[in-house]
Structure 1
Amino acid sequence: MQKEELMLQKKLIELSRLSYQRGIVTYSDFLNLNELNILHTMPKTELYTTYKVFGGYDFSERQMVAFLPDAFCYEYFYPISVLKIRPLQKKFSEALSHRDYLGAVLNLGIERSKIGDILVQEDSAILFVHQSLEQFIQDELKRIRHTSVMAEPENFEKFSYTPQIEEKKGTVSSLRLDSLLALAFSSSRTKLVPYIENGKVFVNGKLITSNGYQIKQDDIISVRGLGRFQYKEMLSQTKRGRYLVTIHLYI
């Protein structure tokens, strides 16, 4: 086990212990897919409490963990703020990518673990960030590349986001992971197998390294460098024994 993985496990165990001993909800920073996989595969006996994960909206990739003490039934709120970043003058703005927004925020000296997902829209972006940094980013983020910008807070309790999806239908020989990847990304199974073997594929936040892993209805598959999709349903079976299925690609 790598040193970084051990350190993360110790940190998560300590947060769980604090929650149990003090009877309070404790929170981690934002965890990436690899870190969430470490959490999900830890033996439950090592944790003192149950936990929930959330990143600010349904299907978020980077998520915080909330450790919940026994019989905890009160309302609790993740320390997440939502900021909308937009150009000061739209007609003078340039097209900005995810990398541009992320780079500008990190250049303020903010740690990556304090930043959740960044949702790039047509002429703006939605940034999920640790609550403690909301005002700092509003005060300091003034320019991205050559574009002057401003960051405005959204009402987190009222905020909702539905990812844009592209529905795709096609036939596969089985509901194996490699077959569905080939359909989703319009490629061959041979070209996509290395993504699985090299630890770049996650199903519902868990790292999967088996090509033959069986996908179930509503599973969300994330592939580093390619994107995400959800397996929705099997519509029918062809005379040749192939399956006609529907998937939703997140775009």
Structure 2
Amino acid sequence: MEKDDLFKKRMTELSKKAYFRGILTFSDFLDLNEQNMLQSLSMKDTGVTVKLWGGYETAERQMAAFVPDAFCCKEDYPLACLRIEPLNRKFSDKLTHRDYLGAILNLGIDRSKIGDILMEEDSACVFCHTSLCEFLKEEICRIRHTSVKAEQITEITDFPVPKREEVSGTVASARLDSIIALAFKTSRSSVIPFIEGGKVFVNGKSVVSNGYTIKDGDIISVRGKGKFQFGSVTNKTKKDRYHVILYRYC
């Protein structure tokens, strides 16, 4: 059985377990491709609703909650958030997203147990499965040449949200390839392989058409490049081009 088929089978099993036992069931963290596959499964007549959450509104990696229709309590997702920061900022390396993720995975942790990693000025906030929280607090003590400490953010209301920067410019139209090229300051031809290769997601759904029209508020994720939200078309120029505003996640 192929990997995708195994994944779909697992999601179906979680759905059935939620329905027949009348309990909440949860997946591990799902990437965009897995979320897309989950949305393609027909759950309409199963007596179960699927809800996604990754710790904040626009999280890329999210857990799926399978909620029986008769269930009336709030979904309590089994995720936690840790802030990892240097013990001595003065002598710390400039750590990247890859550095933090690599240090965590080198502990033998499966990627599906780790959600988004949000970079801050000299630290990072890591979403993880609650079962790993204490382990990570004890074991994450050094990243590259930098001694670090990990502390849990205990209140959900204190969970971090990603920073965004405004990007504006003109495009011939609000086509997917044109907007991505503007967002990452590159050419349309260079982004086509990402789109045709299934690496572009709009609002969590895979889009493989270069000419797909972006709408106000759409969130576009490009694997290997980043994520941004399309703002709006502000006006049309004298050269029949469109001035647009978007917000790229830092």
Shared fold per TM-score greater than 0.5: yes
TM-score of the superposition, structure 1-length normalised?
Answer: 0.94
1:93 aligns with 2:89: no
When residues 156 and 113 of structure 1 are mapped into structure 2, their CA distance, relative to the original with a 3 A threshold, is: farther
- TM norm structure 2: 0.95
Query: How far 1:45 moved relative to its partner?
Result: 4.8
- Letter paired with 2:106: N
Could you say what secondary structure the match of 2:166 adopts?
strand
For the residue of structure 1 that corresponds to 2:221, the secondary structure is strand
Name the SS of the counterpart of 2:161 in structure 1: coil
Shift of the alpha carbon at 1:86? 1.0
Give the ranges of 4+ consecutive aligned residues of structure 1 lying more than 6 Å apart after TM superposition.
none
Q: Given the superposition, is the C-alpha separation of residues 96 and 148 from structure 1 closer, same or farther in structure 2, using an over 3 Å criterion?
A: same
State the partner residue of 2:156: 157
For the residues of structure 1 that align with 2:78 and 2:64, how far apart are their CA atoms?
Answer: 11
- Any idea what the Cα deviations from partners look like across 1:44-102, whole Å, max 9, x if unmatched? 35855111111111211111001111143211211001111111222221111111111
Q: Are 2:7 and 1:8 aligned?
A: yes
Counterpart of 1:193? Answer: 192
Tell me which residue corresponds to 1:102.
Answer: 101
Q: CA contact under 8 A between 2:118 and 2:162: conserved in structure 1?
A: no
Give the deviation of 1:36 after TM superposition.
1.1
Q: State the AA in 2 paired with 1:170.
A: G
Structure 1 residue 240: deviation in Å?
4.0
In 1, the alpha carbon distance for the partners of 2:211 and 2:44 equals 29
Matches of 2:239 and 2:57, distance apart in 1: 37
Find the residue that maps to 2:220 and give its secondary structure: strand
Aligned to 2:234: 235
Please list, as runs of the form range in 1=range in 2, the aligned pairs for 1:81-230 lying within 5 A after superposition. 81-230=80-229
Q: 1:45 to 1:3 in 2, by over 3 A?
A: farther
**1:35: which partner in 2?**
34
Distance 1:160 1:142 in 2: 22
TM-superposed deviation, 1:129:
0.5
Cα offset, 1:156, TM superposition? 3.7
User: Mind listing any 5+ residue stretches in structure 1 that lack a counterpart?
Assistant: none
Task: Please give the alpha-carbon distance, in whole angstroms, between the structure 2 residues aligned to 1:100 and 1:239.
Answer: 47
CA contact (8 A) 1:13 1:46 kept: no
- Mapped contact 1:172–1:180 kept (Cα < 8 A): yes
CA contact 1:28–1:66 (8 Å) conserved in 2:
yes
Unaligned 5+ residue runs, structure 2? none
Give 1:29 shift.
0.2
Q: CA deviation at 1:239?
A: 4.0
Task: Say what the alpha-carbon RMSD is for the aligned residues.
Answer: 1.6
- Could you tell me how far 1:170 is from its partner in structure 2? 1.7
Distance in 2 (alpha carbons) for counterparts of 1:46 and 1:149? 49
Structure 1 residue 133, shift from structure 2 partner: 0.7
CA distance in 1, matches of 2:31, 2:155: 21
Aligned-pair identity in percent equals: 53
Displacement of 1:241 in angstroms is 3.3
How far apart in 2 are the matches of 1:213 and 1:35?
Answer: 21
| CA distance in 1 between partners of 2:127 and 2:225 (Å) | 22
Kept in 1: contact 2:173–2:241 (CA 8 A): yes
> Are 1:25 and 2:24 an aligned pair?
yes
Counterpart Cα distance in 1 of 2:154 and 2:182: 38
